[in-house]
Amino acid sequence: MPLLEIIPQNPDDRKLQQMCSVLKSGEVIIIPTDTIYGFVCLLSNRTGIEKICRLVGKKPEKANLSIICSDLKHISDYTLQFDKNTYKLMNRNLPGPFTFILKANSKVPKLFLNNRKTIGIRVPGHTIPVKLVEMCGEPLVSASVHLPGNLEVIMTDPFEMEKAYRQNINWVIDAGIGGQMGSAIIDCSSETPELLREGPIPVT
């Protein structure tokens, strides 16, 4: 499995376009985010979503997958209507290391192969995932890269990821050592937003 080095501060569009083509062909790849590395596939790739669930050792109905978007413009394509305060909260903190849980619309259960009523939305403060979404023309589904068989150990070194997952994944984007802390999780699916998990920086 090749490691493809891409510098986040000045990403090579030709390499990103290559990875976009790989994603459009139906593959799952490993990419960096502003928190930890993630397994990703296109949102329309049902087989890819099933593969990510297998990689994290969970059934589709139990897997905590999130959607990576490039901005807030198209979030309403996947969520029920939310109030202005929720929008302002997201707008203040995104892009950034936050996952916002919102009520899902009727598209989401079909896409995620389950009956989920909510969906996690991310807009990372990192050029590589954002550019991939823009180039591919649709969001990415993401799950954290962990040590095989151990969900508690987050992997940070792309070289080690390549060794661990070379039988399952064809490409790893190497943007240097990743973080060890996942995004903050804010549940906005009820009237009052609730912080479910602390992240690298506080919610504002």
Residue 1's pLDDT is: 54
Q: Report whether 147 contacts 163 (CB < 8 A).
A: no
Residue 64's pLDDT is: 76
Residue 146's pLDDT is: 94
Residue 149's pLDDT is: 85
Could you list the pLDDT tens digit for every one of the 204 residues in the chain?
589 999 999 999 999 999 999 999 999 999 999 999 999 999 999 999 999 999 998 877 777 789 999 999 888 888 988 999 999 999 999 999 999 999 988 877 676 666 778 889 999 999 999 999 999 999 999 999 999 988 889 999 999 999 999 999 989 999 999 999 999 999 999 889 999 999 999 999
Alpha carbon 159 to its chain centroid, in Å, reads 20
Task: Supply the pTM of this predicted model.
Answer: 0.94
Q: Strand ranges (DSSP E) for 12-163?
A: 29-31, 38-42, 66-68, 98-103, 118-122, 140-144, 146-147, 150-154
Distance from first CA to last CA of the chain, Å, rounded? 40
Of 125, 86, 84, nearest to 102 (Cα)? 86
Q: How far is CA 94 from CA 66, 201, 203, in A?
A: 15, 12, 10
190's enclosing H/E stretch is none
Of 50, 5, 2, nearest to 26 (Cα)? 50
Q: Which CATH superfamily is domain 3-197 in?
A: DHBP synthase (3.90.870.10)
The neighbouring-strand residues paired with 121 are: 67, 100
Q: Report whether 77 contacts 63 (CB < 8 A).
A: no
Tokens standing for residue 154: 């987050």
